[in-house]
């Protein structure tokens, strides 16, 4: 009967508009939820077969929910360096579990990048979902295999231990005075029996030679301890533009080497223009030998080596002497800069655009921890939402592909930013009004159909 179909059509309208109201309510409630994607209920008519010509049977309406997951929210500035926004396509890969992750543990996908560091050092967002990434090995390498999700681990930025970096490079910026007079000690100088290193220990002219100029540099070993080394110069009369030079440890007991901790001795040469002449310098061995110091490990047989009592690893230090000059001005040290770092602890975290998570130590060291991977889907709007503003794959969404940020169409990661909700309050309030009116109109259908049925029933009295 047409009246019955009209009543049922009214009921379907009430149900559909109730769903629309629920979606609008969800959108309004999440207007400030990070990376929330608005939902919308669209309506589709239902057509029934018309059995009798000239008569119409109402089919009603059905609600169809549409997600706008692929819609990019506004990237806004945030205060925390671990707040992460994705500029472009892709989702963070997260789990409900931090340590002990296995292939059986479900992975979820979210764009909610409000991450912080929990008590155990893991990066988790507001829904307590753990961020996944490819970990860096101890040798600084990383295995980025997009086809193997099990290579990714929950990122931990605290349980790293202390950081130490041994000195590998020293830059010396200094000048030795070209007009320096030849000292009396030059005539009796001998690097083996009357060295400048000996003078540094006992200051006795009978056993050592006083240098014309000395500079010092600090070297950090493999366990973070600092050692002092001196570079001394004594003006030579032959050949021209030459200086007797020695490098030695202070104190001498830090190394096992030549007399009084001497690790290198020879001539330092300069060109007629006053520039350092490595090709004719013998301080580091043969003519033109690389300007570097090599220390064997404690307990080794070769020399020079670190003292046995120190128990430390071998060191190789490159000396940059390009700014060592011989000009007609006072001998002076402008700068001695060395790399390396003493023992340091984690004080901060930073994330680069390509997803590299690094720990910052209080000794200025930066250590790479992991690289964030982003998952992309052929149809993000087909994802199924789960609690915590996250999603899981479905057949309509298609299989996910893991990509490095900024590679293969994946978006870039912006640190200290968050993606805003895509909800537009003006549109939602407008929808609230039209939904309310449509609901009222559907209720009128039922009221009118009820009155017509009452008239039909009252035909027979």
pLDDT tens column, 219-248? 999 898 999 999 999 999 889 999 999 999
Gap between the Cα atoms of 99 and 105, Å rounded: 11
Strands 169-177 and 315-327: parallel
**What domains sit in the chain, N to C, each tagged with a CATH number?**
2-66+425-457 (no CATH), 75-161+348-419 (no CATH), 164-343 (2.60.98.20)
> Taking the C-alpha atoms of 120, 124, 128 and 133 in order, what is their torsion angle to the nearest 10 degrees?
-100
The mean per-residue pLDDT over the stretch 85-92 comes to: 93
48-62 mean pLDDT: 75
| Whole-angstrom distance, CA of residue 139 vs CA of residue 134 | 14
Region 266-289: mean pLDDT is 93
| Strand-pair partners of 132 | 154
3-state secondary structure of 278: helix
The two beta strands, 332-338 and 169-177, are: antiparallel
CA angle 301, 302, 303 (to 5 degrees): 125
> Does the pLDDT of residue 298 top 90, yes or no?
yes
Helix (H) or strand (E) holding 228: strand 226-235
What is the mean pLDDT of the segment spanning 434-450? Answer: 88
pLDDT (0 to 100) of residue 8: 83
The tokens describing 344, both together, are 């340091």
Per-residue pLDDT band for 175 (boundaries 50, 70, 90) equals very high
Query: What is the pLDDT at residue 66?
Result: 87
Q: Residue 161's pLDDT is what?
A: 67
Q: Mind listing the pLDDT tens digit for each residue in 91-126?
A: 999 999 888 888 888 899 999 999 998 888 899 999
Q: What are phi and psi of 247, to 5 degrees?
A: -120, 125
Confidence (pLDDT) at 342: 78
pLDDT of 125: 92
| Averaged pLDDT, 391-401 | 93
pLDDT at 326 over 70: yes
Rounded to an integer, the average pLDDT of 345-351 is: 84
**So what's the pLDDT on residue 281?**
95
Q: Are 373 and 381 in contact (CB under 8 A)?
A: no
**Run of H or E residues at 21:** helix 2-29
**% the chain with pLDDT above 70:** 98
At 299, is the pLDDT very low, low, confident or very high (cuts 50, 70, 90)?
very high
Q: What pLDDT, in 10s, does the model give residues 124-170?
A: 999 999 999 999 887 788 888 887 888 899 998 887 766 788 899 99
DSSP code for 197: H
Q: Note the Cα 289 to chain centre separation in Å.
A: 39
């Amino acid at each position: 009967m047409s009246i019955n179909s009209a009543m049922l059509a009214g009921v379907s309208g009430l149900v559909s508009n109730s769903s629309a109201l629920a979606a609008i309510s969800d959108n309004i409630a999440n207007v400030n939820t990070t990376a929330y994607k608005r939902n919308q209920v669209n309506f589709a008519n239902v057509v029934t077969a018309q059995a009798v010509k000239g008569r119409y049977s109402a089919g009603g309406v059905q609600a169809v929910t549409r997600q706008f997951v692929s819609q990019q929210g506004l990237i806004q500035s945030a205060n925390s360096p671990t707040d992460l926004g994705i500029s472009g396509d892709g989702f963070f890969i997260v789990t409900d579990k931090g340590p002990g992750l296995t292939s059986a543990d479900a992975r979820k996908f979210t764009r909610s990048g409000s991450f912080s560091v929990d008590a155990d050092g893991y990066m988790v967002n507001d829904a307590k979902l753990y961020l996944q990434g490819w970990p860096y090995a101890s040798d600084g390498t990383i295995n980025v295999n997009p086809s193997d999700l099990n290579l990714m681990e929950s990122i931990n930025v605290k349980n790293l231990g202390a950081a130490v970096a041994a000195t590998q490079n020293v830059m010396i910026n200094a000048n030795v005075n070209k007009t320096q007079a030849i000292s009396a000690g030059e005539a009796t100088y001998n690097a083996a029996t009357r060295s400048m290193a000996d003078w540094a220990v006992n200051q006795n002219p009978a056993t050592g030679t006083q240098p014309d100029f000395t500079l010092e540099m600090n070297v950090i070993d493999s366990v973070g301890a600092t050692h002092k080394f001196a570079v001394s110069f004594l003006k030579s009369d032959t050949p021209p533009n030459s200086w007797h030079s020695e490098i030695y440890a202070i104190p001498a007991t830090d190394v096992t080497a030549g007399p009084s901790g001497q690790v290198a001795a020879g001539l330092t040469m300069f060109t007629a223009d006053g520039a350092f002449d490595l090709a004719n310098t013998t301080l580091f061995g043969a003519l033109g030998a690389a300007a570097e110091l090599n220390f064997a490990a404690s307990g080794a047989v070769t020399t020079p080596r670190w003292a046995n009592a120190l128990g430390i690893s071998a060191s190789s230090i490159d000396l940059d002497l390009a700014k060592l000059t011989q000009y007609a001005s006072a001998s002076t040290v402008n700068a001695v800069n060395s790399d390396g770092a003493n023992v340091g602890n984690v004080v901060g975290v930073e994330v680069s655009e390509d997803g590299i998570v690094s720990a910052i130590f209080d000794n200025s060291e930066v250590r790479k921890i992991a690289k964030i991977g982003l998952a992309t889907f052929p149809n993000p709007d087909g994802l199924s939402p789960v609690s915590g503003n996250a999603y899981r794959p479905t057949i309509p969404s298609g299989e996910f592909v893991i990509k490095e940020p900024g590679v293969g169409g994946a978006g870039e990661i912006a640190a200290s930013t968050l993606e805003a909700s895509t909800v537009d309050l003006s549109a939602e309030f407008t929808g609230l009004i039209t939904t309310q009116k449509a609901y009222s109109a559907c209720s009128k259908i039922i009221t009118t159909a009820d009155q017509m049925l009452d008239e039909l029933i009252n035909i027979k009295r």
